[in-house]
A and B are shown apart, each in its own frame.
Chain A
Amino acid sequence: MRYILRKLGFYVVALWAALTLNFAIPRLMPGNPVDIMLAKLQQRGGVVTPATRKAYTLLLGGDSTGSLWSQYVSYLKNLAHGDLGVSVSYYPAKVSDVIMQSLPWTLVLVGVATVIAALLGVLLGAVVGWKPGTWLDSLVPATTLMAAVPYFWLALILAYVLARVLGWFPLQGGYDVVLDAGWNGPFIASAIQHGVLPALTIVLASIGGWLMGMRNMMVSTLSEDYVLTADAKGLSPMKILRSYAARNAVLPSVAGFAISLGFVVSGSVITEQVFSYPGIGGRLLGAVTNNDYALMQGLFLFITLGVLGANLVVDLLYGLIDPRTRARS
């Protein structure tokens, strides 16, 4: 129980930090959104009057009249009501609606790809680490190449080979635009077909990290006394591998989920851009190019919330599978 409370407390602090960061960034940065947009307007030959400035200020919701503290309080109050403001680039849609529209795409893509990469990587790592020193094991350092490949470049290569040269998958988009969006067969099939390349990119780019971590832990675990004991008892190697070595070796991989998820989310943001995928990442970049500050902040908040939530779940799960963490705290 104390373990759970501690974890919850930590995530409350992390959540507060993220919210405050989101509040502070626009106010700390040298650029003022209104100034940037007015400069863009001027470049296109527009005339800037005080009235235009006021209109833009109101449009962006940049109410900078009150004190910093009252701004902060009203910011938190708006968030509590789920009010993230109005998107400029999808005007007059609300930011929360735009996010809700693109959220399922990213959630499914990143979720499925991460689970596949983690499972495959851990399994392969366990097999490779079980017999250290074989030819298979000596190939492990080669996976560092996969880990060092930039996500978006891998995406470009895959798109070039599989979509352009071989023509197996569509090059861009999340679904065939002539189909009706909804829960019907052709649409789902098209969505899956469009999702294969982005998912493959994420899996290929992130599997190396899982494999390496699991392999190293497996090697360390094999020299533990309980593995030796199990061996001496005459248990079959498969049973030792499954019930003794792999189970203990997988713990750091689970605990390291936080760091890997951050990387995967970061990578998928740019991957979505390459494939013009209609998810959160594509929207975020669109918001940056269109100076849609409300949408930008809303998206950042949602991504952070998603990562925090996933980490909380993994942490609670970790407490369940490793009793030592509960005993210590």
Chain B
Amino acid sequence: MTNVTAQTQPAAAELTGPAAEPDGPGTRARPGWRSLLPTMTPWLAIGLGLVIVITLFGILGPLLVGDPQRIRDQGLTGPSAQFWLGTTQTGQDVFAQLAFATRGSLEIGAIVGVIATALSGFFGIYGAYRGGVVDEAFSLFSNVALVIPGLPLIIVISGFVPRESRGLWTIALVLAVTSWAASARVLRAQTLSVRHRDYVAASRASGEKPWRVIVVEILPNLLPVIASQFVFAVIAAILGEAGLAFIGLGASNSSTLGTMLFYAQNGFALSLGAWWWFVPPGLMIALFGMGLSLINFSIDEIINPKLKNLRRHRRLAKRAARLERELTRRGAAQEADR
């Protein structure tokens, strides 16, 4: 999560600060580094709020709730004061399970996000930087990896791994290996456009080592893109793991939102009408994914200046329209006075 928080927390501070949304004529230009941060919009605020609240729930929730596995003789009761989200068939507290499952899913998401982003960075950025045969080979490799459908591949791989050795890291690795290709392509395209700029050439000509040119000269330009790809990777990983766990192929020793849904489905929650059992886990995934997508939406505006200018134009147009209305009203009032 490091990238996202680094990107967005100053933006949150910006909102609460006195100089929120400095617009209007005559404001000072935003400093260079601030142009790397998304502008605060209601949607971004919602996204940040969702992600922060759910992350906190995943981190702190398990410390506050009771044992999620404890079996009671109050099977399948609806939400009540004692059990906020009711109980499962064997009387386990759904809310407590939700807290632990959220933590499990976030863990998977973070691990896979980091590995997948690293892989796509290697194949995308390094390949495009080296150019020539290396670039061709890497690009072909990622295109092939892209067209081979991920989940069926994961299912087949999981089918061949015995249940005992199917741990959290195995699943994370399999998910990462099957999901890096799309962002490698995006990063390659971006790197190609940066690679031939003068300052990169200057840095190379002055004998800098390749890794230094990549890290110091190229990487900062790609930060918004990488952040956006990382966010995508996290969403994809949480969704992918949930799917795997739902069909019983998840990590054997972990509890995630997917395993919760797996148990709900196998406990006939659907036909028994126990909505409190299968609605919360999916809703949690959907809301977290939505929060991350909304953050991405704002990062998009940094990457694509056409989308960014759009909002400024819209604001100016609105103000112009308001001014015009005011003028005509004032004109009409003067008419009436006369």
What residues make up the interface of A, taking CB atoms closer than 8 Å to B?
Answer: 10, 13-14, 17-18, 21-22, 25-26, 29-31, 33, 35-36, 39, 132-133, 141, 144-145, 147-154, 156-157, 159-160, 164, 171, 216, 219-220, 223, 258-259, 261-262, 265-267, 269-270, 273-274, 284-285, 287-289, 291, 293, 296-297, 299-300, 303-304, 307-308, 311
Say which residue of B140, B156, B261 sits within 8 Å of A153 (CB atoms).
B261
Provide the bound-state CA to CA distance between A304 and B289, in Å.
Answer: 27
* Contact A132/B155 with A21-B148, A141-B297 known, Cβ cut-off 8 Å: no
On whether the beta carbons of B153 and A300 are closer than 8 Å, the reply is: yes
Provide the bound-state CA to CA distance between A308 and B146, in Å.
Answer: 10
Provide the bound-state CA to CA distance between A216 and B285, in Å.
Answer: 25
Further 4 A-B residue pairs, CB within 8 A, beyond A14-B143, A145-B290, A273-B247: A25-B157, A25-B160, A269-B151, A288-B155
Provide the bound-state CA to CA distance between A288 and B155, in Å.
Answer: 8
Question: When A and B form their complex, which 4 residue pairs have the shortest distance between CB atoms, in order from nearest?
Answer: A148-B289, A153-B282, A266-B151, A144-B293
Q: Which residue of B lies closest to A299 (CB)?
A: B152
Say which residue of B153, B270, B281, B314 sits within 8 Å of A21 (CB atoms).
B153
On whether the beta carbons of A262 and B160 are closer than 8 Å, the reply is: no
Give how many B residues have a beta carbon under 8 Å from the other chain's beta carbons. 59
On whether the beta carbons of B150 and A150 are closer than 8 Å, the reply is: no
Q: Which residue of A lies closest to B283 (CB)?
A: A153
On whether the beta carbons of B160 and A33 are closer than 8 Å, the reply is: yes
B-side interface mostly: helix
On whether the beta carbons of A157 and B147 are closer than 8 Å, the reply is: no
On whether the beta carbons of A31 and B239 are closer than 8 Å, the reply is: no
Q: Does B61 contact A (CB under 8 A)?
A: no
Provide the bound-state CA to CA distance between A148 and B311, in Å.
Answer: 25
On whether the beta carbons of A270 and B161 are closer than 8 Å, the reply is: no
Say which residue of B149, B271, B293, B307 sits within 8 Å of A262 (CB atoms).
B149
On whether the beta carbons of B147 and A308 are closer than 8 Å, the reply is: yes
Chain A positions within 8 Å of B157 at CB level: 25, 29
Q: Mark B278-313, 1 if CB is under 8 A from A, else 0.
A: 110110011111101110010010001011001100
On whether the beta carbons of A148 and B285 are closer than 8 Å, the reply is: yes
Chain B positions within 8 Å of A265 at CB level: 149, 151-152
* Contact A10/B247 with A36-B162, A269-B152 known, Cβ cut-off 8 Å: no
Q: Does B199 contact A (CB under 8 A)?
A: no
Q: Does B43 contact A (CB under 8 A)?
A: yes
Chain A positions within 8 Å of B265 at CB level: 156, 274
Would you give the shortest CB distance from B193 to chain A, in whole angstroms? 16
On whether the beta carbons of A152 and B243 are closer than 8 Å, the reply is: yes
On whether the beta carbons of B289 and A157 are closer than 8 Å, the reply is: no
Provide the bound-state CA to CA distance between A285 and B162, in Å.
Answer: 15
Q: Does B7 contact A (CB under 8 A)?
A: no
Chain A positions within 8 Å of B297 at CB level: 141, 144
On whether the beta carbons of A18 and B148 are closer than 8 Å, the reply is: yes
Q: Does B172 contact A (CB under 8 A)?
A: no
Provide the bound-state CA to CA distance between A216 and B300, in Å.
Answer: 10
On whether the beta carbons of A220 and B306 are closer than 8 Å, the reply is: yes
Would you give the shortest CB distance from A37 to chain B, in whole angstroms? 11
Provide the bound-state CA to CA distance between A223 and B314, in Å.
Answer: 14
What residues make up the interface of B, taking CB atoms closer than 8 Å to A?
Answer: 43, 140, 143-144, 146-153, 155-162, 165, 182, 235, 239-240, 242-243, 246-249, 261, 265, 270-271, 273, 275, 278-279, 281-282, 285-290, 292-294, 297, 300, 304, 306-307, 310-311, 314, 317
Q: Which residue of A lies closest to B157 (CB)?
A: A25
Provide the bound-state CA to CA distance between A297 and B270, in Å.
Answer: 32
On whether the beta carbons of B146 and A258 are closer than 8 Å, the reply is: yes
Say which residue of A141, A153, A160, A164 sits within 8 Å of B285 (CB atoms).
A153
Chain A positions within 8 Å of B287 at CB level: 145, 148
* Contact A17/B144 with A148-B288, A288-B158 known, Cβ cut-off 8 Å: yes
On whether the beta carbons of A270 and B243 are closer than 8 Å, the reply is: yes
Chain B positions within 8 Å of A141 at CB level: 43, 293-294, 297
Would you give the shortest CB distance from A30 to chain B, in whole angstroms? 6
Q: Which residue of B lies closest to A154 (CB)?
A: B282
Chain B positions within 8 Å of A284 at CB level: 152, 155
Q: Which residue of A lies closest to B293 (CB)?
A: A144
Chain B positions within 8 Å of A300 at CB level: 152-153, 155-156
Say which residue of A10, A157, A219, A307 sits within 8 Å of B140 (CB atoms).
A10
